[in-house]
Structure 1
């Protein structure tokens, strides 16, 4: 039974015969292995063509920026999963990636779509970036939607990662309309939302990559790919300096029980 929308029965990423493996039209062995970086390979796999030097450096910078950010919930999930199942590194990596959602790591795609909507509003109306951004921000405010990619619990004045990515985009000459939109939104937020919310790395990644020519629909994969490297690092450390059960014990000690219990019962999980 046919389920969902279908297209022609073809894919254009990889094929092979007994002698040759072709990836995006390139001979894997003769053209790619040992000749290009993994960042270039990622761009090729996703976008279908090899990046130029500016595109390579921009994607590389975003991957470095987001790969590691300490013991965030997704990392804790991965480390505690490995503590419980030390033979399943792949399961622990998966647990960490499954913990990457709209709050942790998942805002890049939604921020990119937000910037696209502002750009399209500007193009359709023939007005300014400021007018288009204000219109979309007021709509989000009215609908009580979160502005994706703005605000951070630690980096209040500015997110240094975001500022550096924008700086690199300017240095490379790739900063364009999406970077302008991102900064314009930041300046408009206090008046429209009622409080200051700075650009965080999840809005910097899409604006610099979209200006560099990276596909919007693949934006979510950038932080996932980057954070996989960070998770592997944490999981190696978990095998040599385990803290998974320490975190579990700390959680049990920090979170009290306030449900019903028999008279005289005293909790002591230690």
Structure 2
């Protein structure tokens, strides 16, 4: 069947474009200008923002990818392994299954924290205020945001971790990297202030978690707030591929399945209440 290309259809794009002899990506020749010259992290940043990152932005962006890549046998990696057990002919299905599990409890915290920080900063400026200039002013803004969320019964994203009860090892390091690369901006300032003020407001001390600090760092590095979860999934795709590689070499999903199957016990099917 011969297909003809309509001369009337136009679909503008600044991303990839191919001709019989070349491939153009972001205005550059893919083969000559990008391959072997640009790292995947820098290219990903450019694809998302349509601009070239500074060296500091690239370092922060890539540090986030490393921080979120893999955390062991989490729900996302478990479902990837189990899906591969069920359909070993579908690597893409196993990867997709793990990525689909990125939500409000795992991975999605990066975007939820970013949204919380953006909302607090935008309201501050919308109400005629300016960005804080001292740690005391940052603490005041953070106190207002945390107290408001607490009064409404909402969780403050970026606080707490199921394993790292005192301190998430990624948080201080990410802040250090951002400072070293002149990317420590208002979102990280506010996030750090939340860490200082929340114990008095919530009545307990929780660690600032790595997913949350990654959201703040990405915002200060120039990533749009609406795409933060996508960046977290980009990072986790590499980790899930590693999980698949290990599952192929040293299978464990079948043992997980057998444990769950042997642990199943009957219960009354009548709905409670």
Quick check: TM above 0.5?
A: yes
- CA distance in 1 between counterparts of 2:172 and 2:263 reads 35
- CA distance in 2 between counterparts of 1:109 and 1:164 reads 19
- CA distance in 1 between counterparts of 2:55 and 2:197 reads 34
Partner of 2:129: 125
Cα drift, residue 12 of structure 1: 2.4
The change in CA–CA distance for 1:146 and 1:36 in structure 2 (over 3 A counts) is same
SS in 1 for 2:240: helix
- CA distance in 1 between counterparts of 2:263 and 2:146 reads 39
Q: 1:205 and 2:209 equivalent?
A: no
Q: Give unmatched runs, 5+ long, in structure 1.
A: 1-7, 262-270
Partner of 1:103: 105
Aligned positions, number: 254
Structural mapping, 1:124-203, within 5 Å: 124-126=128-130, 128-203=137-212
- CA distance in 1 between counterparts of 2:193 and 2:235 reads 27
Partner of 1:267: none
Q: 1:228 and 2:232 equivalent?
A: no
| Structure 1 residue runs of 4 or more that deviate by more than 4 Å after TM superposition | none
Partner of 1:71: 73
Alpha carbons 1:121, 1:132 under 8 Å: kept: no
- CA distance in 1 between counterparts of 2:261 and 2:149 reads 38
2:226 is aligned, of 214, 217, 242, to 217
SS in 1 for 2:267: coil
Cα drift, residue 260 of structure 1: 6.0
> Which TM-score applies when normalising by structure 2?
0.87
- CA distance in 2 between counterparts of 1:235 and 1:193 reads 40
Alpha carbons 2:139, 2:196 under 8 Å: kept: no
Alpha-carbon RMSD across the aligned residues, in angstroms, is 1.9
- CA distance in 2 between counterparts of 1:110 and 1:54 reads 24
Alpha carbons 1:149, 1:202 under 8 Å: kept: yes
SS in 1 for 2:106: coil
> Which TM-score applies when normalising by structure 1?
0.88
